[in-house]
Amino acid sequence: MTNNAEWWKKGVFYQVYPRSYMDKNGDGVGDIAGITDRLNYIADLGIDGLWISPCFESPMKDFGYDVSDYRKIDSLFGSNQDFDVLLKKAHDFGIKVIVDMVMSHTSDQHMWFKESRLGNDNRKKDWYVWTDPKPDGSPPNNWQSIFGGPAWTYDTKRCQYYMHSFLKEQPDLNYHNPDVRNQMLSECEYWLEMGVDGFRLDAFNHCFHDEKLRDNPVRDMSSLSTGLQIDSVIPYSMQQHVHDKSQPEMIGLIQDVRALMDKYPDTMTLGEIGDDDPYARTAEYTSGNDKLNTAYNIHFIAGSSSTNLTPEKIKLPFREVKKYPNHGWPSWAFTNHDAVRVATRWGKGVQDRANFAALLNKLLLSLRGTPFLYQGDELGLPEAVIPFDQIQDPWGKFMWPEWQGRDGCRTPMPWNKDAVAAGFSTNTNDRQPPWLPIPTDHKKLAVNLQDEDPKSTLNQTRDFIKWRKTQPLLQTGEIEFDENSGEDIIAFDRFDGDARMTCIFNIKEKESEYKGSKYAPLSATYIAH
C-alpha cells in the first residue's frame, strides 16, 4: 500500500460551498456541474485537494447538514452522474476530492427516522436517541442544542423525546447500537467505491452520548470562551459538555473508520472536533496509526469581527499542541462556511485590504499543518452584510440582531464584475436571483478584475502556492516561533534537520523592525539558512 499521508500533508486544500460557487443551470443555486466548470480555475490556483461541503439529498433545513439519503446527490445540485463527472475531471487535473460526511445525525425526513418514529416494535426503534419524559413531562436532562433551546424534542407519535444536538429536524443517531455504526460505515464505503479521496467528518465527536443521560455540569462563566463564531453567550455555552459528546466510545468508532479507509489506498479523514478541550481531544483522536489522519482545528476561526490578528493568536495553538506529544498532524483554516470571513474579522481598520488578505493567505500556507482555503479567501472577500428579510440561516434567525448568522460568508462567488449576478449564474435575464445577495464590494473583487492585476490578492496567492510547492520545509517541516518578536511581527522557523527557513510577517501597515532589519508594511519575508 502506498503511503496515504503524504499528499494531504504536503498539499493545499480548497473548500467549496456548492450552493454558492457556480450556478450552471441558472436556478440561482450553485451546483455540481458549476464546480466542474470551474475546475480549471481551481487547478490554476494550485490546489491539491478539494473539500466539497454537503451535497447529498436533504430537505435543506440546515443547507445539507441534514441528510435524508447518503447515497444520492440532491437534485438541487445535480445527480450522482454529475458528481462522477466532477470526480473524474478533478482527478484528471491531479486534484483529490473529499466530501462532507455528516455521521452524527440525519434529517428527520430520512427513512431511518421515519421508521424509528413508528414505535418500539420496529427494526430501527433504537437507531436514534429516544427516551421517556420525566414524570412532569419535561426533557430527561439539561442538554442544550447548539442552535438554541433544549437538545430534546417530544414526538407525539412515539410519546418520547428524541435528542438533537442541532436543529430539531436533525435527530442524533444512536451509535451505541452496532447496527447504526455498521450502516454508516457502509454509507461511507459507497462513496469510497465511487472514488472519493476521503471525508471531512462533520461534528464527529457528537456521535456518542452518555447512555445514562446525566446532566452536564455548569461552566464557570468568568472564563467563558464559547469556541463559536459569535460573541453572545448562549445556553449551550453555559455548560461543560461532559456527557452529550466526546464520549470514550468514540475511539472504537474512529478505529473502525480508519480500518475502512485503509482498504482504499491514499484516502484520508479530516475530523471536525468541537470540544471543551479541542487540543486534548484532537491528540486522542489522531494519535497512532489507527485513528483519524488529521483534525480540523477551529482556533483561528472562532470569534467575530471584534477580534484582531496578533502574534499571540497565531502562537497559542502551537503552544497548546506541544502539550500533547502524541498530537497528530494538524489542519488549519482562517475561514470556512460557519465563520465570519477573516478579512473582516482580523482586518478591522486596515486600509490596504488586498495586501492584507494576501498576507493572511501566505501566513496560513506557511504554518505547520495542512492549510484549507475557503472559496473567496483567494480574492480577499470581506464578510457580507445580509438584510434580515434575506437571511436564510436558521442560526442567524435565532441569534438576530446580535448576529446575522453564517450567511455573510456564504454569498455567491463573484466571477465577473459586470455580468448578471457577478457571473455566478448562467441565467442572464436576472429573473432568478441568487439564493443570497452578492454585495457591491464583492463585485469589485471579482475574479476577472483580479486576473488582470499582477498585485491582486488572487495573483499573489496563486504565485505563493506555486512557490510553496518547491519548498519542502513549508510543506512538512517542524515549526518554532520566536516568542519575542513583538506586536508587529510574527516570526517562526520551519526546519528539518539542519535545513531551516525563517518566516517573517509584518502584520502592520507601517514599516516594522525585527532583529535589526526593517520590513515593509504587510510583507512576508522568507530567509533560507
Residue 192 has pLDDT above 60, yes or no: yes
Residues with Cβ < 8 Å from 464, sequence gap 6 or more? 358, 361, 362, 365
Q: Using CA atoms, how far apart are residues 291 and 137, in angstroms rounded to an integer?
A: 41
Helix (H, G, I), strand (E, B) or coil at 263: coil
pLDDT of residue 325: 82
pLDDT of residue 305: 47
pLDDT of residue 328: 86
pLDDT of residue 1: 28
Catalytic residues, by residue number, are 202, 272
pLDDT of residue 6: 80
- Maximum C-alpha span of the chain: 77
C-alpha distances in Å from residue 428, one per residue of 406, 415, 417: 27, 14, 14
pLDDT tens, position by position, 447-483: 999 999 999 999 999 999 999 999 999 999 999 999 9
Whole-number percent of the chain with pLDDT over 90 = 88
Instruction: For CA atoms 434, 374, 35, 43, give the dihedral sign.
Output: positive
Other CB atoms within a 10 A radius of the CB of residue 245 amount to 25
pLDDT tens, position by position, 136-181: 999 999 999 999 999 999 999 999 999 999 999 999 999 999 999 9
pLDDT of residue 527: 98
What cell does 338 get? 460557519
* Band of residue 223 on the pLDDT scale cut at 50, 70, 90: low
197: closest CA among 272, 259, 266, 262?
266
Grid cell 497559542 is found at 316
What's the whole-model pTM score? Answer: 0.95
Round the average pLDDT of the chain to a whole number and report it. 94
Q: How many CA atoms lie within 13 A of 92 on its CB side?
A: 9
Amino acid in the structure at residue 421: A
pLDDT of residue 226: 44
User: How would DSSP label each residue in 457-495?
Assistant: HHHHHHHHHHHHTT-HHHHH-EEEE-TTS-SSEEEEEEE
For the chain, domains (ranges, CATH) are: 6-106+178-209+221-230+246-468 (3.20.20.80), 107-172+210-220+231-243 (3.90.400.10), 477-528 (2.60.40.1180)
253: closest CA among 191, 189, 178?
178
Grid cell 502592520 is found at 508
Q: Using CA atoms, how far apart are residues 322 and 119, in angstroms rounded to an integer?
A: 50
- Kindly state the helix (H) or strand (E) to which residue 257 belongs, with its residue range: helix 250-261
pLDDT tens, position by position, 258-302: 999 999 999 999 999 999 999 999 999 999 999 999 998 788 987
The answer to whether the beta carbons of residues 333 and 374 sit under 8 Å apart is yes
Mean pLDDT of the region 307-323? 92
* Band of residue 132 on the pLDDT scale cut at 50, 70, 90: very high
Q: Measure the CA dihedral 387/388/393/397, to 10°.
A: 160
Cis status of the peptide bond prior to 414, with omega within 30 of 0? no
Residue 296 exposed, middle or buried by CB count within 10 Å (0-12, 13-18, 19+): buried
Residues with Cβ < 8 Å from 488, sequence gap 6 or more? 506, 507, 508, 510, 512, 514
* Band of residue 5 on the pLDDT scale cut at 50, 70, 90: low
Helix (H, G, I), strand (E, B) or coil at 513: strand
* Band of residue 4 on the pLDDT scale cut at 50, 70, 90: very low
Mean pLDDT of the region 420-447? 92
pLDDT tens, position by position, 344-399: 999 999 999 999 999 999 999 999 999 999 999 999 999 999 999 999 998 898 88
pLDDT of residue 3: 46
Residue 228 has pLDDT above 80, yes or no: no
Mean pLDDT of the region 518-525? 98
Of the two residues 446 and 227, the one the predictor is more confident about is: 446
